[in-house]
Structure 1
Amino acid sequence: MSLDFNKTLVQMADVVSRMKTSQNDRNLRLSLAAKIMKATRENDLKEKLSLAKDRPFLWANPSSELGNGHSPTELPEEFAVVAVDGSHIDVDRHLPVPCSLINIGTCILQYGTQPNAHLGNYPKLYSDEGLYLTEHGTTTREVAIEGPILGFKRTIDEVRELEKLISEIPPTIPTLALVDGSLVLWGLSGQGYPDLVRQEFLDKGILPILANLKQVAQNRTISVAAYVSLPRSTEVVNALRLYLCDTNAVECKRSCSNRMSPFKPCDLPNELLDRELFDILLKPGQRSELFFTNSSIVREHYNGHQIYFFYLNNGQEIARIEIPDWVATNKTLVSLTHALILDQCYKGRGYPVSISEAHQQAVINGSDRQTFKDMLSSALTRQGLPTYTSEKTRSKRLAWL
């Protein structure tokens, strides 16, 4: 046994002890923060937020008071839910062939007088030139599609598959299209990637798909939403933080961090999460007001495709639901999204059953990954090609002592 659990347990006990000591203070601050959110007036909040700029944290803009809750409407008699999820095998330098694989799982559930269900998965193997992004018209600028960049590609493949699923539903049936995770490609913010990457996954990727879905929604009732389970977002908390703040932007940048402020009264929500506050504010089944994100990646690169979100108490957890602007500005679609996601969570015992089924189709477990490697080696052997692995990988399979 390489991990000493006895030594680890001592450290765990210390962490838990510190958490217990701080829990009472955290609960008191949560309760007070929730009361302030409930009492905040929309005009006062928007005026304060409009004056805020250049802070070391991200905040959301609300469409109304922070603490409002909305109950669900009734379900339509006929409706459909489509969902996608994905998994991938990254490029492994210990394998004899450079390659990657993306597996997209799909689920179509139709409810009403003609209930139906269809599950599927679609693996795609990438090798050779498929492992690189290359700038059009040149062979000198390229970026390897691996690590987080492969994750971006998988996200785009998921949303593209979602677009196909919608086309399989009769246009007279109200349809909810769900993805697991976020509609915001957060990892593309900042200067970590060249423009080529942003162009591929934003300008040629998610933005045209969102535009196409918006166009389709002109002629039929569809909604698109992303479901974020157990979110760690603090955008609403940070809006409250700004509302309470009496510190100028210069001092704030100098002394405050993304997580906390040393100043009163804006230190009240230090390290609190959005979901913790809405766990107090929302009754089971209710959703929050709509908010839109101030993320730099959306503001600078989404070309008007604003992403809104709300929080939902599904009875088991507080989830974050993200929707595009054309859904957010249509009250009927917002209500439909709320009602259908809540129903999916009831059917899935706290998590949308459609996403859960799509996940089961998409997941690549440890056994699958080993089988993939074995199949690759066998394919090489049948063609009389050499198979090899690194000595590092070989050594991990052998017990020396």
Structure 2
Amino acid sequence: MPLDLGRTVLQIDEATQSIGRDIDDRQTRLTKLLEGAQGVSNDEATTKSQNSLDRPYMAAQITEELIGSKPPNQYNGNWSTLSVDGSHIDVDRHLPVPCYLINMGGCILSYGDTPYADFFNEPTLATTREDLYLSDPGNANNEELISGPLLGILRSVQEIEYLGFKKFKTAQKINPCSL
């Protein structure tokens, strides 16, 4: 079956209009939320945000004010921050060659006497059997295709490894560091 671009364009136009309505609706909800929060005292906010056994989740706790701002602490000195974030494209069984891609990206920012910035990314395309399958060293016949949640776990581990590697590699360039 051929793709009907005329019908597709109509759907794209409809989606665009819907996005505009969603933005307006979100702004209205945020305004109402802030207006409602203005009427809550600090004591009431603190009491209601305490951990409760009947909540199915951990909620943030209010310790000072529900609404307001606080200036950042002054820090006179040198400091750095290091960040890594990965993304992946999973194995697609429709491709002629089985593969997945993991992309690691991030930055190192240093402030103070010797400012420094480094932005990086490193894509890795996995195509070999060793990269595509997790194998049991005790039984070569026991292997699992790295895809789906397993690929997500692999990417998360690689993010942590990459973060440690980047911190070690740039230790002489950066100041006290937050990760």
Is TM-score (shorter-chain normalized) higher than 0.5?
A: yes
The code of the aligned residue for 1:175 comes to C
Q: TM-score normalised to the size of structure 1?
A: 0.34
Percent sequence identity over aligned pairs: 31
Q: Could you tell which deviates more after superposition, 107-116 or 161-170?
A: 107-116
User: How many pairs are equivalent?
Assistant: 172
Q: Partner of 2:167: helix, strand, or coil?
A: helix
What residue ranges of structure 1 are gaps of 5+ in the alignment? 178-401
| Contact 2:83/2:108 (8 A) holds in 1 | yes
**Matched residues in 1 for 2:96 and 2:18: separation?**
45
- Note the 1:174-323 alignment, pairs <5 A: 174-177=176-179
Give the structure 2 partner of residue 64 of structure 1. 63
**Matched residues in 2 for 1:115 and 1:21: separation?**
42
Q: TM-score normalised to the size of structure 2?
A: 0.66
Tell me: CA distance 1:3–1:66, structure 2 relative to 1, closer, same or farther (3 Å): farther
**Matched residues in 2 for 1:151 and 1:85: separation?**
12
Greater strand content:
2
Give the structure 2 partner of residue 5 of structure 1. 9
Tell me: CA distance 1:151–1:73, structure 2 relative to 1, closer, same or farther (3 Å): same
Higher RCO (C-alpha under 8 Å, 6+ residues apart): 1
Give the structure 2 partner of residue 269 of structure 1. none
Give the structure 1 partner of residue 36 of structure 2. 32
Q: Partner of 1:157: helix, strand, or coil?
A: helix
Q: Partner of 1:76: helix, strand, or coil?
A: coil
- Note the 1:20-169 alignment, pairs <5 A: 27-36=31-40, 38-43=42-47, 45-46=49-50, 49-53=51-55, 55=56, 58-62=57-61, 64-65=63-64, 67=66, 69-126=69-126, 127-134=128-135, 137-138=138-139, 142-167=143-168, 168-169=170-171
Q: Partner of 2:72: helix, strand, or coil?
A: coil
**Matched residues in 2 for 1:142 and 1:37: separation?**
58
Deviation digits for residues 122-160 of structure 1 (CA, Å, limit 9, x no counterpart): 343432132233466456665422234323322321222
- Note the 1:370-389 alignment, pairs <5 A: none
Greater helix content:
1
Q: CA RMSD in A?
A: 3.9
**Matched residues in 1 for 2:70 and 2:164: separation?**
29
Q: Could you tell which deviates more after superposition, 150-159 or 168-177?
A: 168-177
